[in-house]
Structure 1
Amino acid sequence: MSVLTLRLDGPLQAWGASARFARRTTESAPTKSGIIGMLAAARGMDRGDDTELARLAALRFAVRIDQPGARVRDYQTARHQITKVSMPVSERYYLADAVFVAAVEGEDELVDLLDAALRAPIHAPFLGRRSCPPARPVRLGVHHETDLPQALRDEPWQAAPWYRKKHDRQPTVPLTVLREARLGENGADFLRDQPLSYAAEHRRHALRPVVTETVEVPHPDVQAAAMTTMRVPEHDPLAALEESN
C-alpha cells in the first residue's frame, strides 16, 4: 500500500459537507468528497462516471490540521444584469489562513496514477470551491509501504512561519488528525462526505466513520535553532604558531 499526501494551503478554503438553500457552510477540515473530487478533476474524470468514482472513493482518507485558520462569513447580494431583479441574498462561510495535509491510501498503481495526475492536472485544483485557489502546489509526495498514520507522522509540518512562532519552544508539535476509521474500529463519529456520485442530477453522499487522534511532528524551527547552537566553531591550536613563523 502507498499513501499520497497533499498540502492544502490558501487564503480561503471551503469544505462543505452540506448546504441549505442560500446558506453554504464549511467544515473545519477538508472533506473526503472534496479531496476525491480534486483528484478526479486532475485526472479529467467525467462527473457522471460513477464506476471510476467508486474506485477513487474506496481509498482510505485522513487529514492533518497543521494550521486551523479562522471561520469567516461572506454576506453576498446580487442583481441580474439584464432584468435588474435582485437575486436571493446568500451567506457563504470560509476558512481563512488555514493549512492542512490530506492523505489518501490505496494500491500502489492507483496512488502513483493520482500522483502523476497532480503533476500535470487536466483541471486545476481548488480548495473546496472554484473561488479558492491554492497558494502553493498541492502535491507533496508518495509514501510507499506505509499507512495513513505513519505518513502523516513523517510529513513535515506545513504551517506558516508566523504561526510556527506560537510553538517555538517545543521540539515537537501535537497535531490533530481526522482519520477514516477501519472496519469495526470503536469511537468513530460519522460525516456525510463519502462520495457516491458527482452527477449534477443525482449528487449523492454516504456516511463515513471518522476517528480523531493526535500525532507528534518535529518543529523545524526548533531543530534548526538547536543545530546552530550545537555547532562547534573550527579551531586549529597550531594556527597561532604558523602565523608567527
Structure 2
Amino acid sequence: MRERTNVLTLRLAGPLQSWGASSRFARRSTERAPTKSGVLGLLAAAQGRDRGADVSDLAALTFAVRLDQPGTRVRDYQTAHHGETGKSMPVSERFYLSDAVFVAAVEGDEDLIDALYRGVRAPTFLPFLGRRSCPPSRPIDLGAHRGGLWKALSAEPWQASVWFQRRHVRERRVELEVIADLVAGEGPGDAVRDQPLSFDPRHRRYGLRCVRSSVVTVANPLSAPRRTFVPPKHDPMGLLES
C-alpha cells in the first residue's frame, strides 16, 4: 500500500521575490516572508484552477514558512507614460526581497496534499514568487511527507545558498525562524490580513489569520569540525645543548 502524505514542502528561491499583504495603489510593498495567500495562489495556478474558482479547501490548510535565507529588501522606482496620450502616469514604488530562500509548508487532507503535489510536479501554469516578474531559480518541489508540519520543517535540509551557509561554517546546527498559522490553544499571536477568500480579479477578498513565530534547528552541511589546539613540540633550550 502506498504511504499516505499530509504535508507538502516547497522551496521558494530566486533573484527577486515579492509577497505583498497590504499593497495599495502606487506603493507595492513586500512582507519579509512568503504570505499564505501568495503560496496558495501558486498552488492553485499549478493545479490550473480558474481565478474565480472556490479556494475554501486551500484556505483551510495549515501554513508555515521557514526563513532559510532572509535576503535583502530592495526598492524599485518606476515611471510610465500613457500609450495613447503620452501623459505621465503616477510614479510607483515596488519593493522586493533579493537573494532570499524560504521553505513553505502546507498541512491538510491527504487527498488534497497528494493532488497539490501532482500539480507542483507538473504545473498547468508556471509558478512565480509573488509576482509574475519573479520566477524561481530552482525547482520548487521538495516533496510530500507525513508526520506533521513541524516535523517536516525540522527534517527538511537547510536550503540556503552555499555562500550563505559558509558564513556559519563554525556552527554545526543553525536556528531558523518559522512563521506559522496559530492553532487554537497555542497562545497569543499576531493578526494579518492574509487569509484568501477569493482570487477573483474583479473582487479579491482576504480575511484575517493569526500567526506566531518560532524556531527549528537544522544541520549545517558545511560546518567545519572544531579543532582542539595542540601546542607544537618545541624545546627552547635544544639549540644550546647541541
TM-score normalised by length of structure 1: 0.88
Give the Cα–Cα distance (whole angstroms) in 2 for the partners of residues 38 and 23 of structure 1: 23
Deviates more, 1:64-73 or 1:82-91: 82-91
Partner of 1:26: 30
Name the SS for the 1:187 alignment partner: coil
Give the Cα–Cα distance (whole angstroms) in 2 for the partners of residues 41 and 212 of structure 1: 28
1:71-82 correspondence runs (5 A): 71-82=73-84
Partner of 2:240: none
Partner of 2:97: 95
Give the Cα–Cα distance (whole angstroms) in 2 for the partners of residues 40 and 48 of structure 1: 11
Task: Indicate the percent of aligned positions where both proteins have the same amino acid.
Answer: 59
Partner of 1:48: 52
Q: CA deviation at 1:221?
A: 1.2
TM-score normalised by length of structure 2: 0.89
Matched to 2:128, the amino acid is F
1:111-153 deviation digits (Å, cap 9, x = unpaired): 1110000111000000000000000111110112x11111100
1:25-70 deviation digits (Å, cap 9, x = unpaired): 00000000000000000011011112xx001110100000000001
1:63-95 deviation digits (Å, cap 9, x = unpaired): 000000010000100112332111111000000
Matched to 2:189, the amino acid is A
Partner of 2:163: 162
- Structure whose residues are more often helix by fraction: 1
1:187-223 deviation digits (Å, cap 9, x = unpaired): 211111100011122211111111100110000112x
Partner of 1:236: none
Name the SS for the 1:202 alignment partner: coil
1:1-245 correspondence runs (5 A): 2-50=6-54, 53-144=55-146, 146-222=147-223
Where does structure 1 differ by over 6 angstroms across 4 or more consecutive aligned residues?
A: none
Alignment RMSD, CA only? 1.2
Unaligned runs of 5+ in 1: 230-245
Unaligned runs of 5+ in 2: 228-242
Matched to 2:15, the amino acid is P
